[in-house]
Structure 1
Amino acid sequence: MRLKKFVAIGTAVVLSLSFVGCSKNNNKNDKVNNTVSNQPSTEGTDDTATDTADTTKDDVLSYANIVLGESYTDISTTIKFYNNRTDMNLDDYNGKKWEEYVADFNKVYPNIKVEIDADTTYAESALLRLQSGDYGDILMIPEVSKSDLSKYFVSYGDLPTMEGQVRFASDMAYDGQVYGVAYMGTARGIVYNKAVFEQAGITTLPKTPEEFIAALQAIKDKTDATPLYTNYAAGWTMSAWDDYISGTATGDATYKNQKLLHMSNPFENKADGTGPYAVYKVLYDAVANGLTEDDFSTTDWEGSKGMLNNGQIGCMVLGSWAYPQMVAAGDHGDDIGYMSFPITVNGKQYASSGPDYRLGINVNSSEDNQKASMVFVKWLTEQSGFAYNENGIPVAANDNNFPELYSAFDGIELVSDDPAVAGEEDFLNLINADSDLMVSAGGNTKVQQIIEHAANKDMTFDEIMADWNAKWTSAQEGNDIEINQ
């Protein structure tokens, strides 16, 4: 095995998705209808989970040991929180702003000042800042090799303990330690305009690729709306398609981080409408059949929000994080709906879900700033109501109050991506780097090429998939990764 690499991967808001219960002993596939509530949670975790140690006595910095309002109240410092949410600083932002969250935090910790540093080019800039050492005290962790996590970030605690504290704990775990806490979770589906679907005569939401393409054709035939808007020009929106190839397309929590790494020709046609082939073919067929925008090179991400809201667009393939933005983008928020991706596995539908960006704490910050930062992360997770306010899946392990949005997934199981087995944590990064496919790691270029080839009709979909398989195999072989035939 060659030495593990630092892989600089530009990502968007949405990354690889996983949703698990309170610990890895829980059922990996939880039904959302058992956990939906319309009330935000402002409660902390159960006292038995948090009061395991008195940090004022032993001063051991760990997430589980912090008791909000009691631990580290003597600290007086200023911390910097570097993040991608520039929208939360805008005057017209239709939601709770960063300054309001900080003000609420200061009611509990008045001597810890929080400076918000938001960046419109976060995915790329965060990697540069990480390498320069100038990345504040708290930041949303960009895509780095997991073996490098301890070089940049403080451990929140060991994995078994953290699995009892937060959802998605294993996502940023390495060698038994957890280096990132999600700031909210998301589910993967399709945001759509209910009025457009109704006008097109679509009375039942599609559950297979064939049904979905037929629905898009009905929208084209019976309405003036663009059936599927690709958002090609934005770039980062293209990588969202990668997030549907695991749990959504297979119903298998072990697919992405365990099986895919060793799979022979993972992009081949499984002939049952499942797997990566089925996901990407939806996009190819939509473009090839003229069911997307007229000129993919001129798509407008910001403009698309209002276009979906007012019925000029039928649907877009985006995570649930996009839903509130589409609702707020015009006067027709009630027309916005969210549905599962149209793949059925053995008669059942699944939806991948998991963390949005994960919050890391700078390992080089002062001791006081590390403590203050962990206090803020825990407060944001447990007492701020942030995830609920942003229509996200709550992160605190005992918080089962889901926004109403997730009722659309009634009967559909949310599936986590289990972590890689010990010793294989960096296999996906290695394969991605050498194949240039960047699966679930900001791989927008390869998905853009699907649109280009479909529109130009210069390469069939099977030819594209054959090329990807060859690149994947070469990367596996080059890194001495066993291939299961």
Structure 2
Amino acid sequence: MRKQWKRIMLIAVLLICLPAAAGCRDTKVSDPDETPEQGIQEPEGQTGGTLHVMTNRVDLIESGVMGKYAKRFEQENPGVKVEFEGFTDYTNDIMVRLSTREIGDVLLLPVSIANKDLPSYFEPLGPSMFTHVRFPDFKSYHGVRYGIATGSSTIGIVYNKKSFAKAGIREVPHTLDAFYEACAKLKAAGMIPLYMNYGAKWPLQQWGENMVNYMSGSGDALNNMVNVDEPFRLNNSWGQAVSIAKTLINRGYVEDHLFSNTWEISKSKLASGEAAMYFLGNWAIQQVIDAGADPEDIGFFPFPYDNGKQRYAALTPDWFIGVSKFSANKELARKWIEFYVKESGYVNDSGFLPVDATQQTNLPQFQEFLSYEPVFVENKQQTDEFVEIANKAGISFWSGDYIQELIAAPDLGKAFQDLNRRWKQARKDSKI
């Protein structure tokens, strides 16, 4: 427990130090205001050597898929060796590595870093990389881009059609009440209605910031939080989203042994029909199929978060990828990113929607999703003000940590009061 507490405190200190990380290390970094003009030119770098790539896709490293991408790249660039380092808790672990500047050559951009600090850690990416690419300016500062999306996705219910048939469910639920009724039928038929992956934590972001940022029809729901002292309330989207998750757990509609990280196991359970549903992005579809499911048995529909007729759905970028400012092989790192996002097959292999806006997906499950006529809400980049307040409040958005605590709280109202107290103080300290 003491080690865990020390780790939490270390991450908290790093988050506080992040906007001026150079000051935390006595090492000079470039002035963000000066870097853009200097960095647009493509620097000459090595064309050979080892390229160190840091990623959250431990599963693709272990399955050999990443190795296949690397082999193709190495064949196209003789003398190059690509090595991967995977993190199962990338959101938190990468912050520790960022503070030491031991971040390899290519890495996913941390979600907790403000755009104004990107020039201190990442190299600019040339304009040619962003032709027809979605979300081009999400990771930019003063007109210079530092990260490109690795994929695009929406969020909904990934389900096993055979499980639904076994439980006597003839059509997907279109309202929240119908969704609860379907869960009850699935449980009565001996299946896990919805595998929440509570123990893995990161999937819980669906029940917090991800749902909140689209269910009201505004992609700026999170950014608008900077204007109020008490954004976490029982009678708004935060209360609605977390309450649904708590209801599912209280009624026994999710997996047992909640505190165990059974992410890999859950995919097999959904593939076999032992579990019936996920609430995740469309990227999870391919992972369930890879776990043994017949593609025709897996479907996808918008999450019915209320009993209304209008259904919103998110259109979001996945992780952004960039070049480390401390890389000795920057030109080659840029080549890898271009290859990885546009040529390797990663987008299709992982079940993402195309990053290139001119391309269409042939994913049949996404066509089913579209048949329910959701209104897509394109996600907006979180402002530096939002990131600053979140960091000062110690709320680790997109990690699932605090959502796990909210779901477990005996009194959600009191739990929200604590978050609001921290948020209000952070706004005061940030003078926003």
TM bin (shorter chain): 0.7 to 0.9
Q: Match of 2:358, SS?
A: coil
Distance change in 2, residues 1:260/1:74 (3 Å): closer
Match of 1:248 in 2: 214
| 2:293 maps to 1:313 | no
Of 20, 26, 41, 1:60 maps to: 41
CA distance in 2: counterparts of 1:300 and 1:165, whole angstroms: 38
Distance 1:245 1:119 in 2: 25
Q: Look up the equivalent residue of 2:117 and give its one-letter code.
A: D
Taking the aligned partners of 2:307 and 2:123, their CA distance within structure 1 comes to 40
- State the distance in 2 between where 1:362 and 1:122 align: 16
Higher relative contact order (CA 8 A, sep 6+): 1
C-alpha separation in 2, matches of 1:419 and 1:123:
17
**Aligned with 1:150 (options 116, 119, 128):** 119
Contact 2:286 2:349 in 1 (8 A): no
TM-aligned CA deviation for residue 362 of structure 1: 1.3
Q: For the Cα contact (< 8 Å) 2:271–2:293, is it kept in 1?
A: yes
1:392 match: 352
In structure 2, the partner of 1:177 is: 144
Structure 1 length as normaliser, TM-score? 0.73
1:227 aligns with 2:193: yes
Q: Distance in 2 between matches of 1:81 and 1:446?
A: 29
Would you say the 8 A contact 1:244–1:279 is kept in 2?
A: no
Q: Which residue, 440, 446, 452 being the options, matches 2:402?
A: 446
8 Å Cα contact 1:80/1:116 also seen in 2: yes
User: CA separation in 2, counterparts of 1:165 and 1:112?
Assistant: 29
Are 2:206 and 2:279, in contact at CA under 8 Å, matched by a contact in 1?
yes
CA distance in 2, matches of 1:6, 1:212: 44
2:359 maps to 1:403:
no
In structure 2, the partner of 1:190 is 157
**SS of equivalent residue, structure 1 residue 260:** helix
Q: Structure 1 residues 465, 118: closer, same or farther in 2, change over 3 A?
A: closer
In the alignment, what sits opposite 1:434? 392
Q: Could you tell me which runs of 5 or more consecutive residues in structure 1 were left unpaired when the two chains were aligned.
A: 9-58, 63-71
> Is residue 212–residue 241 contact of structure 2 (8 Å, CA) maintained in 1?
no
What is the one-letter code of the residue matched to 1:115?
E
Residue 326 of structure 2 is aligned to residue 364 of structure 1: yes
Name 1:54's counterpart in structure 2.
Answer: none
Pairwise CA distance, 1:227: 1.8
Counting helix residues as a fraction of each chain, which structure ranks higher? 2
Matches within 5 A, 1:419-430: 419=381, 425-430=383-388
Letter of the aligned partner of 2:41 in structure 1? V
The Cα shift of 1:175 comes to 2.6
| Counterpart position of 2:50 | 78
Contact 1:197 1:219 in 2 (8 A): yes
CA contact (8 A) 1:189 1:341 kept: yes
TM-superposed CA distance for 1:330, in Å, is: 3.0
Shift of 1:214: 2.4
2:103 aligned counterpart, secondary structure: coil
Secondary structure of the residue aligned to 2:291 is coil
One-letter code aligned to 1:327: I
- Give the partner amino acid of 1:297: F
Cα deviations across residues 408-463 of structure 1 (Å, max 9, x unaligned)?
Answer: 3212233222235xxxx322222222333333x31x2322223323xxxx32x444
Q: Percent identity?
A: 26
Closer, same or farther: CA 404–84 of 1 in aligned 2, 3 Å: same
The answer to whether residue 424 in structure 2 is matched with residue 473 in structure 1 is: yes
Other structure's SS at 2:222 match: helix
Whole-angstrom distance in 2 between the partners of 1:228 and 1:331: 16
CA offsets 1:240-260 (integer angstroms, 9 cap, x no match): 323433443112122223x23
* Aligned-partner Cα distance in 2 for 1:6–1:397: 37
Residue aligned with 1:117, SS? strand
Separation (CA, whole Å) in 1 of partners of 2:150 and 2:343 = 12
CA offsets 1:181-200 (integer angstroms, 9 cap, x no match) = 12222221222222222233
Paired residues in the alignment total: 395
- Deviation, structure 1 residue 146: 2.2
Deviation for aligned residue 1:115? 2.7
Distance 1:316 1:353, change over 3 A: same
Aligned partner of 1:475: which letter? A
The aligned residue for residue 93 of structure 2 is 125
Q: Which SS does the other structure have where 1:166 is aligned?
A: coil
Structure 2 residue 171 is matched with structure 1 residue 204: yes
| Cα distance in structure 2, aligned partners of 1:244 and 1:122 | 18
The SS at the match of 1:170 is coil
Structure 2: runs of 5 or more not aligned? 1-14, 20-39
